[in-house]
Structure 1
Amino acid sequence: MPNPADPEALAQLPLSELVACHECDLLMRKATLRNDEKALCPRCGYELYAHRHNLVSRSLALVLAALLLYIPANFLPIMQLHLLGQTSDDTVWSGVLGLYNSEMRGIAVVVFLCSMAIPLLKLLCQLAVLLSIRLDFGRSYGLLIYRIYHHLREWGMLEVYFMGVLVAIVKLADMAQLSIGLGLFCFISLLLVQVWLEVVMAPHQIWQALSGEDIHAGD
């Protein structure tokens, strides 16, 4: 746990040795962490930062897994609808096309961006950042890409789309015969991998690594 210390003593320290709590704004001296340790604010208990073991290797594995899941999650059938002798396969992409062809083009664009384009762009940004750290090449571009990634985080809404799919399944269950497709399992897997990636890819370590500091991120 970081030491808040005396305000006069803190004023003598360089900014690189200080950290402020995002919740209560307490300024304190930055603590050195070992693998898998977390720094908590002594005032409010907020997690300030963490040191993940094998951060780059684990994050790269998760990013590649998410990219492999991306295509089947968006283009394989999420569910199959049987109604009045007709059968239709519904995918994320077919949902976007359906909205577009129904003259709801603005909604179609938003769904496409939030459920397909931005999640893919986020994964590609994470991949580029991790490769710049692993290969020790182009870290200045890595900093720019990581800033872009943080601006995109709020726009990737896979969990919102997933809740919409669940609502649709519940409402249609009494009206027609439904079969769950492989695409839904891939979509859920993609969502879980991205959540896991957010946990593993500690921002504090990534910023330090992109700044050229030796944080043993690849240990």
Structure 2
Amino acid sequence: MPVPSHAYTEHIASHEVICHECDLLVQVPRLEEGEQALCPRCGNSLMLLPKAPLQRPLVYALTSLIMLLCANVLPFLAINAKGMANSMNLYQAASVLFSEDYRLLSIAIYLCMQLLPACCLLLVSYLYYGFLRGRVVPGATTVTRWLFRLLPWTMAEVFMVAVLVSLIKIASLADIFIGAGFWCFCLFSVMYIKSMVHLDRAWIWSRIAGPMPSVGLLLQGKEGLSQGVTLCHGCHGIIDIQSERCPRCQHKVHPRTPHSIEYCFALLITACILYLPANLLPIMVTESLGQTHYSTILGGVVLLWNMGSYPIALVIFIASVLVPITKILALFWLCYTVYRQDGHHRRGRTRLYRLTEFIGRWSMVDVFVVAVLAALIRMGKLMSIYPGTAAVAFAGVVVVTMIAAMLFDPRLIWDAAQPHKDTRRDL
């Protein structure tokens, strides 16, 4: 007798979870492949089971690694201006900055656009190779912990957008030749995104270490903190509030992120201090025919607008000016409303936090653009481009605001309306 096709499909049995954004205890029904469970109160994604969850991440990850290797060994970009030509490989986007004594910025760019994505892909391939073979690979717990620690700092798709912006910027100055390495990097970015969106933290941990130990009878639709339980941010399991570490992943447990508001305020003030030199100092220095031109972020936006590149000017303005300011102001406001224990518009404020956490990394576009132009336009006295001091300050703004968003605990938004005894002790 033939086996039904559905016997080969994955599923997740019905179980209880705690929303990591509003602390609501939810009973998730049985999930089939391609289904997702959302929190009924704040709309946050609780669990995802993509189609072919065992095969697709591995296929996409291996394809991405192959494309990344090809992107590094094949020609990436080349230009020709008035008979003078220059070319660049992918790794030179960071190495040129290193040779110009911007070593810290160079390392950060290389990590975000290439090394960290490659590490995440290798970790995914290692884990899912074991899943397909029906076993847990050695060191799976350590591998999974590092995978989800590194993921927020990977910016392959941001670098891809920066390359496109750079090409439009120099299209009127020189003839551009796009190498095979560029198209390989495009495929790498697409496959990388597809690989990472198929990952679900809770599903991976359940396959590695099984279900969480029972913590007793819990009431659905009530906050976890009020029932003496909390969420493990390492594996998304439900843990007794008195536990110091998660029994499944050994992640340190806190009912709420310790000193969340204080740390967030301090980092936002740091971001404001860095934002001034990032916009007042030149982010790019251009030497052309013996003359030196200094370009600030706003100056570059105005130049692109005057050149008629309206869409690119808007992209740079939104990513490099509007997004950092909006994110800083939004996080300040969220911290203030939590401090005031404001119980209004909790769902809207949670969505605002979710948006600020997502868009923050895209501000790195301008820094990546400077790196690409500095590596590509090296033509001696005819024209050469160098990074400016503002590039370091602006990268600092992006990093600091990203850390601030990570340290802000969105569950405090919901605690403000119904404060508990145990909530304020960890602020």
TM score, norm. by length of structure 2:
0.41
What is the aligned partner in structure 1 of residue 313 from structure 2? Answer: 108
2:291 is the counterpart of 1:86? yes
Question: 1:197: Cα distance to partner?
Answer: 1.2
Q: What is the distance in 2 between the residues matched to 1:141 and 1:112?
A: 29
Deviations 1:19-62 (A, max 9, x none): 789999x8x5354268xx7768x4xx598985432211111011
Who wins on radius of gyration, i.e. which is larger?
2
Report the RMSD for the aligned CA atoms in angstroms: 3.6
Question: Counterparts of 1:44-193 in structure 2 under 5 Å?
Answer: 51-134=256-339, 136=340, 138-141=342-345, 144-156=348-360, 157-175=362-380, 176-193=383-400
User: Do the aligned residues in 1 keep the contact of 2:286 with 2:384 (CA within 8 Å)?
Assistant: yes
Q: What is the distance in 1 between the residues matched to 2:284 and 2:298?
A: 13
What is the aligned partner in structure 2 of residue 4 from structure 1? Answer: 212
More contact order relative to length (CA 8 Å, sep ≥ 6): 1
Q: What is the distance in 2 between the residues matched to 1:190 and 1:38?
A: 33
Question: 1:212: Cα distance to partner?
Answer: 3.8
Q: What is the distance in 2 between the residues matched to 1:33 and 1:207?
A: 22
Identity %: 21
Q: What is the distance in 1 between the residues matched to 2:386 and 2:315?
A: 27
Q: CA separation of 1:191/1:118 partners in 2, compared to 1, >3 Å: closer, same or farther?
A: closer
Deviations 1:95-138 (A, max 9, x none): 1111111111122112211221122111101001111222x254
2:409 is the counterpart of 1:202? yes
1:60 partner amino acid: F
For structure 2, list consecutive stretches of 5 or more residues without a partner in the other structure.
1-17, 19-210
What is the aligned partner in structure 1 of residue 32 from structure 2? Answer: none
Worse-matched range after superposition: 178-187 or 116-125: 178-187
Q: What is the distance in 2 between the residues matched to 1:74 and 1:106?
A: 21
Question: 1:217: Cα distance to partner?
Answer: 6.3
1:198 partner amino acid: A
1:203 partner amino acid: P
User: Do the aligned residues in 1 keep the contact of 2:343 with 2:414 (CA within 8 Å)?
Assistant: no
Q: CA separation of 1:33/1:11 partners in 2, compared to 1, >3 Å: closer, same or farther?
A: closer
Q: What is the distance in 1 between the residues matched to 2:386 and 2:335?
A: 39
What is the aligned partner in structure 2 of residue 29 from structure 1? Answer: 238
Q: CA separation of 1:132/1:143 partners in 2, compared to 1, >3 Å: closer, same or farther?
A: farther
2:344 partner amino acid: S
User: Do the aligned residues in 1 keep the contact of 2:282 with 2:295 (CA within 8 Å)?
Assistant: yes
Q: CA separation of 1:132/1:181 partners in 2, compared to 1, >3 Å: closer, same or farther?
A: same
Q: What is the distance in 2 between the residues matched to 1:5 and 1:66?
A: 42
User: Do the aligned residues in 1 keep the contact of 2:287 with 2:385 (CA within 8 Å)?
Assistant: yes
Q: CA separation of 1:68/1:22 partners in 2, compared to 1, >3 Å: closer, same or farther?
A: closer
Q: CA separation of 1:12/1:200 partners in 2, compared to 1, >3 Å: closer, same or farther?
A: closer
User: Do the aligned residues in 1 keep the contact of 2:343 with 2:413 (CA within 8 Å)?
Assistant: no
Question: 1:65: Cα distance to partner?
Answer: 1.4
Question: 1:147: Cα distance to partner?
Answer: 2.1
User: Do the aligned residues in 2 keep the contact of 1:125 with 1:145 (CA within 8 Å)?
Assistant: no
TM score, norm. by length of structure 1:
0.74
Q: Give secondary structure in 2 for the equivalent of 1:140.
A: coil
User: Do the aligned residues in 1 keep the contact of 2:343 with 2:417 (CA within 8 Å)?
Assistant: yes
Number of aligned residue pairs: give it. Answer: 208
2:284 partner amino acid: M
2:241 partner amino acid: T
Q: Give secondary structure in 1 for the equivalent of 2:308.
A: coil
Deviations 1:61-113 (A, max 9, x none): 11111122223212320132222121111111111111111111122112211
